[in-house]
Structure 1
Amino acid sequence: MTSANGTITPPHVPFGHAEPVWVHFDDLDMMGIVHNAKYAVLLERGLTPYWAERGFSFENGRLTAPDVFHAVRELSISFRTPIRGTGPVLAHFWFESFGTTSAEYGFRLLSADGATVHAEGRRAIVRLDPATLRPTPWTDGAKAVGQALLRPESATL
């Protein structure tokens, strides 16, 4: 829900995290709906502040934690209902798995009230060693955040 000052209070999600993000004019195609390539950007706009608030970011040209150096291995998005126009939406994300060197997000892009699923998908990442570009284990700090995002086995959407 959007308050009088324009901030979004995300609805409760049963697991993971829902981060408010904004659709900007340049995210739209010529029909006034979000261009398909921008859905990944909207997810990134949700992930970035979530991790930054927990000490994992890229600031002033430097990583605040080594776990920030990771690459997307796979991204899959299924589109459900177009996002029309600019304004707030929610990026709801969680971990389906969190391994030694990789992790797999599940995610949904929702209307600001959480009632409409615009898209859903998965995003697999691998933590890399900056010198070798080979997979390397997550730090204990990333593991702690990752555990908090894990979807419980019994949880359903």
Structure 2
Amino acid sequence: MSHATVDRPVVEFGHVEHVTVHFDDLDALGILHNARYAVLLERALTPYWASRGHGFQGRDSSPDVFHAVREFTIRYHVPIATTGPVAVHFWLEHFGTSSAEYAFRFRSVDGDTVYAEGTRAIVRLDPLTLRPAPWTDAARAVAATLLRPIPGRSC
């Protein structure tokens, strides 16, 4: 199992999912390898969406799971130098017609340390044409639970 069983903190917006850093995620210096952050973010996002009806199940998958990462940015602040649970706080900054932009923070479970933060932009694709396709109403309903509140923005 990829996520820990530690209680998740309450956040004002978005969601916190705990993921587990394993020994083989560490590099030769004993810190989390930079490439593993993208994998751990995916492991935080996947159960959130799957528990809301948007999981990958082969041909029976929700059409909204067919998307590609357009951009991934990350700023590292403090190395993760241990195995065990890490809290991934993620939310949506934007949810458009066929695109979405997440923001995220990797934090210690107690919330005192921010290890890294960044953004991840995705585009929903039509599986036949590989061209951008609009999100379904079901995905929009889930996305509304992740949007960071901005005064004047309607969900």
TM-score normalised by L of structure 2: 0.92
> Is 1:56–1:63's contact at 8 Å kept on the other side of the alignment?
no
Match of 2:73 in 1: 76
**CA offsets 1:79-124 (integer angstroms, 9 cap, x no match):** 0111112100011100000000000000001111111110000000
Match of 1:91 in 2: 88
Is the partner of 1:58 in helix, strand or coil? coil
Query: Counterpart of 2:8 in structure 1: which amino acid?
Result: P
Among 37, 40, 45, the residue aligned to 1:39: 37
Structure 1 stretches of 4+ moved >4 Å: none
Aligned equivalents of 2:59, 2:25: Cα separation in 1: 28
Aligned equivalents of 1:92, 1:20: Cα separation in 2: 9
Among 87, 106, 110, the residue aligned to 2:107: 110
Match of 1:67 in 2: 64
Q: Per-residue deviation at 1:62?
A: 3.1
Aligned equivalents of 2:59, 2:87: Cα separation in 1: 28
Q: Per-residue deviation at 1:63?
A: 4.5
Aligned equivalents of 2:75, 2:94: Cα separation in 1: 20
- RMSD across aligned positions (CA): 1.1
TM-score normalised by L of structure 1: 0.91
Aligned equivalents of 1:46, 1:55: Cα separation in 2: 15
> Is 1:10–1:113's contact at 8 Å kept on the other side of the alignment?
no
Q: Per-residue deviation at 1:14?
A: 1.5
Q: Per-residue deviation at 1:143?
A: 0.2
Aligned equivalents of 1:153, 1:84: Cα separation in 2: 35
Is the partner of 2:115 in helix, strand or coil? strand
Query: Counterpart of 1:69 in structure 2: which amino acid?
Result: F
Give unpaired runs (5+ residues) of structure 2. Answer: none
Matched, 1:11 2:9: yes
Aligned equivalents of 1:99, 1:118: Cα separation in 2: 29
Give unpaired runs (5+ residues) of structure 1. Answer: 1-5
Aligned equivalents of 1:90, 1:138: Cα separation in 2: 28
Identity of aligned residues (%): 66
Match of 1:3 in 2: none
Q: Per-residue deviation at 1:64?
A: 2.3
Query: Counterpart of 1:18 in structure 2: which amino acid?
Result: V
Query: Counterpart of 1:123 in structure 2: which amino acid?
Result: R
